[in-house]
Every structure is written in structure tokens, then in C-alpha cells.
């Protein structure tokens, strides 16, 4: 979660200058359009500009599909949902134990090759990941965007089996906000009780309107557990063949409510979960609202996501770095969805974007930048591959896709 002062930026709608690439979605078999979406029936001219890392330089070269799904290769295939969807070559990053290097450049490439599902094996399940919905009781743009996102997901022809909200579900962490979230999901035709998994974010921990303190933190954790249906702020669930491992701030932060702090007990539990998955050959899907340093966009020194992050980042990174065949999902930064892969190819790090307000694709994410975007992720788990599609809620279309051979 970024500072709530960003709320006004949603309405700013200013566009940044840069090299432009226009792409029009030809077909979207995942979604049937709502008849009422007249304000959204248009293609968007997208900006692909270099950020401070040169991360979003566009390439005109077509990237051919790789049907072999080599175990250690990142597959350069285009989205099957939309001809011409962006295919992202994920960067390699050094192992996470110890010091973190600067995030290397990412190249965005565009191609029209279809995803070869026959090489991926049978579909195990399909689920949706969203974060930073920031629902409050004041109505306005946050609530409108969440309603749009719920309705968009509900209209998908190939509906996700479950939905994970990876933190900052609410803006103030109150019971009334959780109740409203459930009500909006139900109104959209989504079965909250059976299809939703909630992960704790820093806004569920406290807010700037209610300064932190032991009593506030304890009360907010209790409220989260009640509405998430969990005994702890960290937990694991196996749903339709997928192993979900959710992390949360079980200790009071030392510095500020924006930061997470994880206990040694939670880290030991995580280590055991990941070890068990490695023994069984099961993919570990780890969800933590706050990202690890030096992984996805806005997590390098000097960025907002680096400073306002997990206080004991190195301890968590050490546990993650000891294991493979895992995907680490995060939110928090409000950057456009991003992906990075560890240097040995065994760990992927995925930022899920934001529903309430998100920096535009290609933005430098600085204060005052346009935050009028809204995105989420459709994750398709196959026997031998994992595919992640970025959903643009504003335009009801598919954007980037990342595909991985399994096991990682």
C-alpha cells in the first residue's frame, strides 16, 4: 500500500510522454462483455517507456512460441486470450540469501504466437490474484473500481475456481469494511465463503488515521482473522491441487504501520512448508502483501517499495532462497504487474498490481505520476506449466503474459 494521498491522483488522468505502442485485442475467449460497459468499449494506446532501470523498453521483434517447455527456460509465448498480447521476458535476479543486487532490466516483447496448451498438460486449476483494493465506507473511486473488477471476473467464461486478495483488502481494517467487501462480491455473483482467500496487508494492520500501538495492532489482527476465517495471520490451504502459503505481520512493526515484521516462528513454519513441498514435488504458491527487496519493480534501494517494506526482509529472503519450485506473489507498491526469476530459475517473483489505483504501465512510479490503472492476475496451473495473464480491469482486456515450465 502506498500513502492514501494517492487517492486524488486517480482522477488526475495525466499521460506521460514516451514511445507508444498501439495494440488492439482481437479476441478474448476468457470474458463475455457486459452490455452495460459502453464506457469501456475501446482499445487503449499504451505507453512503453524506460523507467529508472530501463525496464520497459519495447521491442518490435516477434517472439516465437517454445512448445518444448524446457525445465529451466522461460517460455516466450503470447497470450492465448488476446492475439498480440504482450509477452514478458522475466529478468534473472541473483539468489536471495544475503545482499540483494539491483534489479536488472526487463525487456517487453510483443508477438502473435498462441500459447501451446498441449505441451503444458492438463489444466489443474485456474485462479485469480488481486491486491490493494483499499475498500472504505466513503464510496467513490475505490468502491467503483472494486465493483468493476468483481463484475469483470464474474463474467469470465472460464471462471477462476478461487480468488486470492493479497493484502490491503480494506483501507482502515474495520469490520464494516470487510462486511462491505463481502457484500460487493456477493452482489457480483461471486461466492465469498467458498471462493475467496484473504491475505493480510499493512492496511489491515493499522492506518495513518489510527496510529499504531500494541492494542491497535492486536485488535486489527483479530479482526482480520475473524473475517478471513483463519486462526493466525499466516496459514496454508490446499485448493483444487494448488498449495497456497499466506504470510502476514504477526509481530508489531518497530518503525511504522506501513512495514511488516514476521516472527521467527512464522519463518520456521514457512521453511517447513516449503521443504515438504519440495519433497513431494508440489509447487509452492507463496502470498505476501509486501515484496522482497531486489525482486519486482520498485523494490530496489531508493524506491518506495524498498523503504516501506518487511523489516526483517533478509530473514525472509534467506528462507525463500533455500528452496525452489515456488512462486512468490506480492502487492503493496501499486506498480503495474511485474515478474522476475531467480538466477537459477527455481523461484519466480510476481507483483499483482493494484485494483484501487495503479501506476500506468511504463511509469517511473514517482510522486505525481498517473495512477489511473487497475489490474489483477489470472493464474492458470497446468500439469507442466504455469501461465499468468495480466487483466486490465479498466479496459476489460488482457495484457502481459508470463509462462513457466514446471517444476521451476
Q: For residue 9, what is the DSSP state?
A: G
Question: What three-state secondary structure class fits 204?
Answer: helix
Residue 139 has φ and ψ, to the nearest 5°, of: 65, -150
Strand ranges inside 250-319, DSSP E:
284-287
- pLDDT at position 2 is 56
**Residue given cell 515484521 in the structure block:** 261
Cα-to-chain-centroid distance, residue 136: 21
Is residue 148 within a helix (H) or strand (E), and if so which, with residue range?
A: helix 140-154
Is residue 140 within a helix (H) or strand (E), and if so which, with residue range?
A: helix 140-154
- pLDDT at position 158 is 81
Query: Buried (b) or exposed (e) across 303-326, using 16+ Cβ within 10 A?
Result: bbbbebbbbbbbebbebbbebbbb
- Spatial contact of 245 and 288, defined as CB atoms under 8 Å apart: no
β-strand pairing of 347-351 with 326-330: parallel
Burial class of residue 13 in the structure, from the number of CB atoms within 10 Å of its CB (0-12 exposed, 13-18 middle, 19+ buried): exposed
| pLDDT tens track, the chain, 408 positions | 554 433 333 332 322 222 222 222 222 333 333 333 333 222 222 222 222 222 222 222 222 233 233 322 323 332 222 222 444 556 666 555 433 333 333 222 223 345 566 789 999 999 999 999 999 999 999 999 999 999 999 999 888 999 999 999 999 999 999 999 999 999 999 999 999 999 999 999 987 777 768 889 999 999 999 999 999 999 999 998 999 999 999 999 988 899 999 999 999 999 999 999 999 999 999 999 999 999 999 999 999 999 999 999 999 999 999 999 999 999 999 999 999 999 888 999 999 999 999 999 999 888 889 999 999 999 999 999 999 999 999 999 999 999 999 998
User: What distance in Å separates the CA atoms of residue 131 and residue 194, rounded to the nearest whole number?
Assistant: 18
- pLDDT at position 234 is 98
Between the two ends of the chain, the Cα-to-Cα distance in Å is 29
Comparing CA positions, the residue from 311, 307, 302, 301 lying closest to residue 264 is 311
Question: What three-state secondary structure class fits 211?
Answer: coil
- Spatial contact of 278 and 324, defined as CB atoms under 8 Å apart: yes
The C-alpha cell at 306 is 524498498
Comparing CA positions, the residue from 90, 23, 44 lying closest to residue 338 is 90
User: What distance in Å separates the CA atoms of residue 11 and residue 144, rounded to the nearest whole number?
Assistant: 13
**Residue given cell 514476521 in the structure block:** 262
Please give the domain boundaries of the chain with CATH numbers for all domains: 71-405 (3.60.21.10)
The C-alpha cell at 108 is 517487453
pTM: 0.78
Amino acid at each position: 500500500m502506498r500513502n492514501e494521498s494517492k487517492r486524488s491522483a486517480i482522477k488526475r488522468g495525466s499521460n506521460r510522454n514516451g514511445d507508444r505502442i498501439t495494440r488492439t485485442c482481437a479476441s478474448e475467449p476468457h470474458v463475455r462483455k457486459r452490455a452495460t460497459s459502453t464506457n469501456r468499449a475501446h482499445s487503449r494506446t499504451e505507453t512503453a517507456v524506460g523507467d529508472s532501470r530501463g525496464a520497459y523498453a519495447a521491442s518490435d521483434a516477434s517472439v516465437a512460441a517454445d512448445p518444448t517447455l524446457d525445465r529451466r527456460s522461460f517460455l516466450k509465448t503470447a497470450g492465448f486470450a488476446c492475439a498480440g498480447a504482450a509477452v514478458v521476458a522475466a529478468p534473472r535476479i541473483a539468489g536471495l540469501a544475503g545482499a540483494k543486487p539491483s534489479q536488472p532490466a526487463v525487456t517487453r516483447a510483443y508477438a502473435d504466437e498462441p500459447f501451446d496448451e498441449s505441451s503444458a498438460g492438463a489444466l489443474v486449476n485456474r485462479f485469480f490474484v488481486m491486491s490493494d483494493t483499499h475498500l472504505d465506507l466513503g464510496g467513490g473511486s475505490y468502491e467503483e473500481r472494486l465493483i468493476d473488477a468483481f463484475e469483470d471476473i464474474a463474467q469470465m467464461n472460464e471462471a477462476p475456481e478461487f480468488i486470492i486478495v493479497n493484502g490491503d483488502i480494506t483501507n482502515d481494517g474495520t469490520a464494516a469494511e470487510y462486511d462491505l467487501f463481502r457484500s460487493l462480491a456477493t452482489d457480483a455473483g461471486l461466492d465469498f465463503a467458498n471462493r475467496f482467500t484473504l491475505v493480510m496487508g499493512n492496511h489491515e494492520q493499522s492506518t495513518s488515521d489510527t496510529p499504531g500501538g500494541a492494542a491497535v495492532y492486536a485488535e486489527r489482527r483479530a479482526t482480520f482473522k475473524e473475517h478471513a476465517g483463519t486462526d493466525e495471520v499466516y496459514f496454508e490451504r490446499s485448493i483444487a491441487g494448488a498449495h497456497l502459503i499466506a504470510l502476514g505481520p504477526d509481530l508489531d512493526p518497530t518503525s511504522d504501520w506501513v512495514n511488516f515484521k514476521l516472527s521467527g516462528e512464522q519463518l520456521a513454519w514457512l521453511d517447513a512448508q516449503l521443504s515438504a513441498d519440495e519433497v513431494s514435488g508440489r509447487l509452492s504458491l507463496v502470498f505476501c502483501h509486501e515484496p522482497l527487496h531486489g525482486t519486482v519493480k520498485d523494490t530496489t534501494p531508493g524506491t518506495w517499495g524498498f523503504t516501506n517494506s518487511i523489516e526483517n526482509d533478509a530473514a525472509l529472503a534467506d528462507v525463500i532462497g533455500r528452496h525452489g519450485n515456488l512462486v512468490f506473489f506480492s502487492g503493496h507498491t501499486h506498480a503495474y504487474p511485474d515478474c522476475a526469476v531467480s538466477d537459477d530459475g527455481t523461484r519466480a517473483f510476481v507483483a499483482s498490481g493494484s485494483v484501487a489505483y495503479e501506476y500506468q504501465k511504463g511509469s517511473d512510479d514517482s510522486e505525481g505520476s498517473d495512477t489511473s490503472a487497475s489490474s489483477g492476475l489470472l493464474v492458470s496451473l497446468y500439469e507442466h506449466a504455469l501461465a499468468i495473464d495480466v487483466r486490465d480491469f479498466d479496459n476489460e482486456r488482457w495484457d502481459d503474459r508470463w509462462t513457466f515450465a514446471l517444476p521451476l
